[in-house]
Amino acid sequence: MSQKILSFATGASVLPPIGFSPTPSVQFIHNEDDDFSSTPMFPVANTCVNCIKLPLHVSYQLFKQKFDFALGNTCGFGRA
């Protein structure tokens, strides 16, 4: 599972010997007014800057379902 997350977030299937540049990061997508209707349902990755953006969900089960779907249905560059 961690290899899929690494690949999704950075485009790399293994850790590079000299590390990543820039350092991988995680951001959380949320609305300030707590209206989840316009929040993206799936995680978004920007492999150019090694960043994964995770949407906040109303439950852990919904987050896990969407996260697992994204990891299982993306290969290389693209969107779930």
69-80 confidence digits (pLDDT tens): 998 887 665 555
Boundaries of every domain in the chain: 2-72
- Give the tens place of pLDDT for each residue, 9-19: 898 889 999 99
pLDDT-based confidence at residue 53 (cuts at 50, 70, 90): very high
User: Averaged over 24-52, what is the pLDDT?
Assistant: 79
- Give the CATH architecture of domain 2-72: 2-Layer Sandwich (3.30)
Record the pTM: 0.75
φ/ψ region of 11 (left if φ > 0, alpha if ψ in -120 to 50, else beta) reads left
Per-position b or e across 41-59, b if 16+ CB within 10 A of its CB: ebbbbebeebbbbbbebee
Task: Cite the active site residues.
Answer: 48
